[in-house]
Structures are given as C-alpha cells and as structure tokens.
Amino acid sequence: MADPIVADVGTIEPEPATSRRRGLPSAPKALALVLVLAIEVVLFSVLSPYFFAWDNFLNILVAVAVIGIVAAPGTLLIVAGQFDLSVGSSTALAGIVMASVAASHGLGLGILAAVGVGLGAGMVNGYLVTVVGINPLITTLGTLSALEGFAEVTSNGLSLSVNNFGGLGTDVVFARIQVPVVILLLVFVVFAVVMRYTVFGRTVYAIGANPVAARLTGIHTKRTVFILFVISGLACALSGLILNSQLASASPTAATGLELSVITAVVLGGATLSGGEGTVLGTALGVLVIGVLNNGLVLQSVNPFWQDVAQGALLIAAVSFDRVRSRIVER
C-alpha cells in the first residue's frame, strides 16, 4: 500500500505551480529580487570605490550568515503558516549560557549547553503551539520577552567574555572564505533540498496551504510543526555560537532585531504570511538584498539606525506587493 502522505500530499498542495512545488521561487518574484539586487550592486558600486571588491562581498556574506542560518528554517515555519518571533532572544540566550558555562566547565559543556538552550526554546514554542493551542504569534512574542529576560538575568545585563573560541566565527577555509559563510551555504543547500525533494518538504507546503485537509489525508500536522520549531531553536543555538566566536564575547543584546531581519528576508523571498508559499532559494536572495543594502549604507557612512528604517521599509514593501499580487490573482 502506498504511503498516504506521499499519495495524498500532491492533491492538496497550495497551487499546481511546478516551480513552487519543486522548491523554486516563481519567475516574477525571482526576477524582481534579482533586479533589486542588481540595482543595489550598481548603485553602491558607483557611490563607493570600496564596494565592488571580492573582500567586500565576503564581508557581506559574513555579516548575513547569522540571519541566513536562522531564516532557512524560518522559511519552513512561515510556509507552514507559523511564526517564530523569539529567534533573536533564543540566539542571545544560547550565547550567554554558552559563555557562562564555558567559563567554569569548559568549552565542550558550554557548546552543549547552548545547543540545549536552542533545543529547549524550540520545544517550548512547539509544545505551546501544537499541544496547548496558543497562537504562534502570541506564543513567540511571550517567549521572546521571557528568553530576553533570562539572558539579562544570567549575565546581569553585562557582556561575558569567550576565550579560545575563534575558529567557528573567524577561521578561513579557502579563498579567504570564512567558516560562517560555508555553514550558511550548507544550511541553504540542505533546506532547499529538503523543501524540493522530500516528503517532509511537501507536507510543510500542504500544512500551510490547508491544515485541515492535510490532517484529513493522514499528515501529522502537529508533529511536523513541532519539529519545525525545534529546528528553528537549534538554528538559533548555532547562530549564538557563531556570534560568540566572532565577537569573542556574549551579549544579551547581540541578536536584537534578528527576528525582523529574518521575517523581512523570508517575505522578500516570496513567502506569504498566510502560509503555503515560499522557497529557501527565494529567502537566500532576500538575505542578500538585506546584506547588500546594509553594507552599502555603512560604506556611505549612513547612521546605523537608518538600516532599521530601511529593513522596515523593505518588509512593508514586500508585504504590500504580495497583497496586491494576491488580489490580482484572485480576480
């Protein structure tokens, strides 16, 4: 007998568009993002003689590594119709706990403690959403505040030093490419393959498109959503470790605003907040758009606070574009 999940998921996918079903961004969205990225590159290349250089492009990738690592599983969550707004505080707490444990028990236990924090945060979010039944937006807003508070309490509001842990964040692999960039690329490839070629990826699309229909066809929707939250938490732990390695310290405010950057990248990449649509490759393009914009503004000596304004404007523009497109399609 055929696996009911494999047999039925194809009939309840969000739409018959082959490109999205295979994990590829739709042509109009991909072309729009590539066009925006090209305009940014040309503009900042004209404005700054330091922009169009290999070292600067590597700097951009290093700067967006943490965002991309968290945005990849974040894409799966949003495709499934879920949110995780606690990624910034989860990342910060993982870093703080790692630094605190490593100071007294060694780096090995510190790393395990950080992984445990990410795993625990993901399990709590997943349990509250799937078992208790609390709205994911409310759940993760609550855990965002709680985890942020734990990070402040654990560190007494201070930064903690992290010694002898520079390899993960600063070591060079080849062609001056640092380890975080390699990790970022591997994460994107793995999640892109999962979304395009696996039954699990198809179930994520099915749940986001119509959770009731997905459940009736035998898909374990709650279990799948729980797993997605756990994966998101583990990605936060990895990001917290990378930040600790890059900064040689852990700060309770190290990942402030990460959730905004992640959602902006995912929505820019073509995901809809209602679920059922989005790709990891589109998110990768969205991450690059954000990274190039931030880098270009820094090279122009623009006040760093304007980067937040720019990201907010990008998010509003992306959501507005998606709503307009949806209304046109419905007509």
The model's pLDDT over 55-66, given as tens digits with 9 standing for 90+, comes to 999 999 999 999
Does 226 reside within a domain? yes
CA distance to 160, 163, 180, 218, 314, per residue, from 157 (Å)? 9, 19, 27, 48, 31
Does 50 reside within a domain? no
Q: At how many degrees (to 10) do helices 27-47 and 280-299 cross?
A: 20
pLDDT-wise least confident of 77-91, 124-138, 189-203, 290-304: 290-304
pLDDT higher than 50, residue 11: no
Does 286 reside within a domain? yes
Does 194 reside within a domain? yes
Length of the chain: 331
Structural domain tally of the chain? 1
C-alpha to C-alpha distance for 286 and 280, rounded to whole angstroms:
10
> What is residue 312's predicted lDDT score, i.e. its pLDDT?
83
Structure tokens at 250: 């852990």
CATH no. for residue 217?
1.10.3470
Beta strands in 116-255 (DSSP E): 160-161, 172-174, 177-178, 249-250
Q: What percent of the chain has pLDDT over 90?
A: 69
Question: What band does 320 get if pLDDT is binned at 50, 70 and 90?
Answer: confident
- SS3 state at 177: strand
Per the prediction, the chain carries an average pLDDT of 88
* Of residues 324 and 207, more confidently modeled: 207
C-alpha to C-alpha distance for 27 and 290, rounded to whole angstroms:
20
Please give the average per-residue pLDDT across 153-176, as a whole number: 90
pLDDT higher than 70, residue 326: no
Backbone phi, psi, residue 79, to 5°: -60, -35
The model's pLDDT over 86-101, given as tens digits with 9 standing for 90+, comes to 999 999 999 999 999 9
Does 192 reside within a domain? yes
Does 27 reside within a domain? no
Does 34 reside within a domain? no
Buried b (16+ CB within 10 A) or exposed e, 5-28: beebbeebbbeeeeebbebbbbee
- Return the number of other C-beta atoms located less than 10 Å from residue 131's C-beta: 10
Please give the average per-residue pLDDT across 214-237, as a whole number: 94
Question: What band does 4 get if pLDDT is binned at 50, 70 and 90?
Answer: very low
> What is residue 311's predicted lDDT score, i.e. its pLDDT?
78
Smallest CA-to-CA distance from 121 within 252, 231, 260, 261 is with 231
Beta strands in 60-169 (DSSP E): 160-161
* Of residues 241 and 214, more confidently modeled: 241
Does 289 reside within a domain? yes
Domain range spanning residue 87? Answer: 56-330
Which range in 22-31, 117-126, 311-320 is most confidently predicted, on average pLDDT? 117-126
